[in-house]
Each structure stands twice: as structure tokens, then as C-alpha cells.
């Protein structure tokens, strides 16, 4: 996706700010998982959670997110 300089100037935002706003919106709508949204915002999950908290956006933690976390934990344990 390309965001042209004129759009960024009109919005008075950097490309990183636009990505962060998009990540928050897509997460809030349930279109991206926490990990996916954090990657789009170019941050880690903890910082992204703090960002959500600062905006009073609840963390969506459903079974899909739980299963994703389990996979990550298993993968990390196997890498040891």
C-alpha cells in the first residue's frame, strides 16, 4: 500500500502514524489479531496494548488469540 506524500501532508501525519492508526482501527474492528496489529504499527505487543489502554480500547482476547499464543509458546519452547 502506498500513501502519497500529499495525503500525509493533508492529514498532518507521518507514515508511521497512519500505520498505527490503521492498526488500532483494524484491531478494534476485529480484523487483525493483537500480534498482527502490533506488527503493522511497527511495535511489540506490550507497547501496542499500552496504546490501546491509553485510548480506552479493550483488549480482545478470544479463543483464536489464546490458540495463537499457545502456538507461539510451543514454538519458543522447541527453539530452546
pLDDT band at 37 (very low <50, low <70, confident <90, very high): very high
Convert 1-28 to b/e letters by CB count within 10 Å (16 or more is b): eeeeeeeeeeeeeeeeeebbebbbebbe
* pLDDT at residue 26 greater than cutoff 80: yes
78 in helix, strand or coil? Answer: helix
Residue given cell 502506498 in the structure block:
2
What is the rounded CA–CA span in Å between residue 72 and residue 79? 11
User: Which range marks the domain in which residue 58 is found?
Assistant: 5-79
pLDDT at 60 > cutoff 90 = no
Instruction: Please state the domain count of the chain.
Output: 1
Amino acid at each position: 500500500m502506498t500513501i502519497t506524500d500529499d495525503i500525509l501532508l493533508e492529514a498532518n501525519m507521518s507514515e508511521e502514524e497512519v500505520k498505527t492508526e490503521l492498526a488500532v482501527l483494524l484491531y478494534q474492528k476485529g480484523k487483525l489479531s493483537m500480534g498482527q496489529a502490533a506488527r503493522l504499527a511497527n511495535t511489540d505487543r506490550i507497547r501496542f496494548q499500552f496504546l490501546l489502554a491509553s485510548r480506552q480500547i479493550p483488549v480482545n482476547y478470544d479463543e483464536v488469540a489464546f490458540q495463537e499464543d499457545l502456538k507461539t509458546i510451543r514454538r519458543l519452547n522447541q527453539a530452546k
